[in-house]
């Protein structure tokens, strides 16, 4: 099976960091024979032309998806309803429509109703990314050794599902199927709330007038700089994530705040044992992540001067 492409024609709707990485990885892994790309920005299309990762570039959604065997939406999730509406009349019977969005229930809600019968709608989410944006930021290795979660409807076509999974394996990912609501809760804890907290602490630091911005920057190696990386992620994408995973984010945030209040109280009352016990427990999670190949074991992520 690895001898021929999984899909003949791939259409990408959105070619920023993720969309352009899908194109590059699909090329590298022989996952699609030809790649058509649409973007709402003419500037992005012009830059993509120079980068050369797509076979054809389109200013209209229908032009990109016509004849496509796999369509992947790779725009901020707030745009999915309009994208699905625009692509519907041009979709080829038997095509697979999917996406890369960080929320899954809202995708089914917004895009689902527009997908015509005879087209297989199977949402997906590669757990992968960087803090950078735009077609220049993409690279073929982005999905290597990362997980891609697919959230097929109960009555999903078995063949279409298997081809979508094989597509992601060709891009370097491991694939797992999950219920969309469970996906949204898992991602709220492993991605959405961590991003919100990072954005928040960076905002708090920026506002603290008794500590200057230059001090915040100079002394950031004490821990703060780690948060600024994810707080530099794409604002539009993340606005849409929070607006479209409200329930799970608010649920996890409630627990986070409750736990933080308990820690605050432990500090106020000098309860060193409570602090020590939590700080010991959290070390084990880090080891689990390194053992699972999901992060570097090198100190400071290996970014600092090398050990001699």
For the segment 30-59, give every residue that binds a second copy (CB under 8 A): none
Distance of closest approach, residue 14 Cβ to a second copy, in angstroms = 18
User: Distance between CA 284 and CA 263 in Å, rounded?
Assistant: 19
Distance of closest approach, residue 192 Cβ to a second copy, in angstroms = 8
Site for a second copy, residues 195 to 254, rule: CB under 8 A: 195-208, 210-211, 213, 215-233, 235-236, 238-240, 242-243, 246, 249-250, 252-253
User: Distance between CA 166 and CA 93 in Å, rounded?
Assistant: 20
Distance of closest approach, residue 77 Cβ to a second copy, in angstroms = 12
Distance of closest approach, residue 57 Cβ to a second copy, in angstroms = 21
Q: Looking at 128, 159, 165, 175, which residue binds a second copy (CB under 8 A)?
A: 128
Interhelix angle 235-244/246-268, rounded to 10 degrees, is 100
Distance of closest approach, residue 251 Cβ to a second copy, in angstroms = 9
Q: Looking at 129, 135, 152, 180, which residue binds a second copy (CB under 8 A)?
A: 129
Q: Among residues 64 and 241, whose Cβ is nearest to a second copy?
A: 241
Distance of closest approach, residue 292 Cβ to a second copy, in angstroms = 5
Q: Looking at 3, 93, 117, 299, which residue binds a second copy (CB under 8 A)?
A: 299
77 part of the interface to a second copy, by CB under 8 A: no
Distance of closest approach, residue 126 Cβ to a second copy, in angstroms = 9
> Judged by CB under 8 A, how many residues of this single chain contact a second copy?
117
Q: Among residues 163 and 195, whose Cβ is nearest to a second copy?
A: 195
Q: Among residues 82 and 141, whose Cβ is nearest to a second copy?
A: 141
Q: Looking at 2, 30, 56, 296, which residue binds a second copy (CB under 8 A)?
A: 296
Which region, judged by CB under 8 A, interacts with a second copy, from 43-51, 54-62, 112-120, 146-154? 146-154
């Amino acid at each position: 099976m690895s001898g021929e492409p999984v899909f003949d024609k791939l259409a990408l709707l959105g070619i920023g960091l993720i969309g352009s990485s899908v194109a590059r990885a699909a090329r590298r892994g022989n996952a699609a024979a030809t790649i058509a790309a649409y973007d709402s920005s003419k500037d992005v299309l012009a830059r993509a032309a120079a980068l050369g990762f797509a076979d054809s570039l389109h200013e209209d959604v229908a032009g990109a998806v016509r004849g496509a065997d796999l369509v992947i939406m790779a725009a901020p999730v707030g745009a999915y309803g309009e994208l699905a509406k625009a692509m519907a009349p041009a979709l080829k019977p038997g095509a697979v429509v999917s996406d890369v969005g960080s929320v899954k229930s809202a995708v089914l809600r917004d895009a689902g109703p527009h997908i015509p019968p005879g087209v297989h709608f199977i949402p997906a989410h590669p757990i992968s990314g960087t803090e950078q944006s735009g077609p220049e930021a993409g690279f073929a290795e982005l999905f290597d050794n990362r997980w891609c979660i697919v959230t097929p409807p109960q009555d999903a076509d078995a063949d279409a599902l298997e081809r979508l999974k094989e597509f992601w394996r060709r891009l370097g990912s491991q694939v797992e199927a999950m219920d969309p609501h469970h996906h949204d809760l898992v991602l709220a804890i492993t991605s959405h709330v961590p991003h919100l907290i990072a954005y928040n602490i960076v905002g708090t630091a920026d506002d603290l007038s008794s500590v200057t911005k230059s001090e915040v920057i100079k002394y950031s190696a004490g821990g703060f700089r780690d948060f600024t990386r994810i707080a530099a992620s794409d604002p539009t994408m993340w606005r849409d994530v929070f607006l479209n995973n409200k329930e799970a984010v608010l649920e996890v945030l409630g627990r986070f705040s409750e736990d933080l209040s308990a820690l605050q109280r432990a500090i106020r009352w000098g309860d060193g044992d409570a602090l020590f016990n939590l700080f010991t427990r959290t070390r084990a999670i880090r080891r689990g992540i390194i053992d699972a190949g999901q992060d570097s074991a090198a100190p400071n992520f290996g970014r600092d001067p090398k050990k001699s």
